[in-house]
C-alpha cells in the first residue's frame, strides 16, 4: 500500500490546525508541535503543515519558500463519496476561513469544486461516478 505525505508551508500553525480540523480531519499529536501539525486526511493521506521557517529548514541552501497566494504550484484533488460531500467540504472550508478558487464543475459522471486554505493552498474536492470509471 502506498501512502502520501504532503508537506505545506503555513504562516500560522494554530490557524491551520483549526482550519483543517473544521473540515473534519484529525491531528496526529505524535508528529505535531508548535512549528508543525500533522493532519490525518485518511489512512493513507497525511498533511504536514509546517511554519514557513520550519519548512525552509528542509530546503537546499539558496531556495526560498514559495507563497501560494502569489503563484500556484500545485492543486490538490481529494476524492469524495458524492456530490453532496464535495459541496459540504467547500462550505465547511469557506466557513472556516478558506477562500474561493474556481466555480463548481459538473461533467455528469464527474463533479468537482474548489477552495483555498488560509495560506492560499488550492484544494479540489471531487467525485467521480464509479460506474463510469471502469
What is the residue extent of each domain of the chain?
1-60, 71-134
pLDDT at 131: 83
pLDDT at 112: 98
Q: Distance between CA 55 and CA 5 in Å, rounded?
A: 14
Asked if the 1-60 domain carries CATH number 1.10.510.10, the reply is: no
Residue 133 in this model has a pLDDT that exceeds 90: no
Model-level pTM greater than 0.85? yes
CA dist 8 to 4, 23, 48, 112, Å?
Answer: 13, 17, 6, 22
CATH topology (fold) of 71-134? 2,3-Dihydroxybiphenyl 1,2-Dioxygenase; domain 1 (3.10.180)
Is residue 47 within 8 Å of 39, Cβ to Cβ? yes
pLDDT per residue as tens digits for the range 55-93: 999 999 999 999 999 999 999 999 999 999 999 999 999
The set of cell numbers assigned to 15 is 490557524
pLDDT per residue as tens digits for the range 9-67: 999 999 999 999 999 999 999 999 999 999 999 999 999 999 999 999 999 999 999 99
Task: Give yes or no on whether 1-60 and 71-134 have one common fold.
Answer: yes
Amino acid at each position: 500500500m502506498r501512502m502520501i505525505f504532503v508537506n505545506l508551508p503555513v504562516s500560522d500553525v494554530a490557524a491551520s490546525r483549526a482550519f483543517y480540523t473544521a473540515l473534519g480531519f484529525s491531528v496526529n499529536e505524535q508528529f505535531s508541535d508548535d512549528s508543525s501539525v500533522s493532519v490525518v486526511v485518511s489512512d493513507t493521506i497525511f498533511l504536514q503543515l509546517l511554519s514557513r521557517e520550519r519548512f525552509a529548514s528542509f530546503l537546499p541552501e539558496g531556495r526560498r519558500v514559495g507563497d501560494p497566494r502569489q503563484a500556484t504550484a500545485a492543486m490538490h484533488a481529494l476524492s469524495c463519496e458524492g456530490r453532496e460531500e464535495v459541496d459540504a467540504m467547500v462550505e465547511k472550508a469557506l466557513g472556516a476561513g478558506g477562500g474561493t478558487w474556481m466555480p463548481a464543475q459538473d461533467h455528469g459522471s464527474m463533479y468537482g469544486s474548489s477552495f483555498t486554505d488560509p495560506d492560499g493552498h488550492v484544494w479540489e474536492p471531487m467525485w467521480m461516478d464509479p460506474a463510469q470509471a471502469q
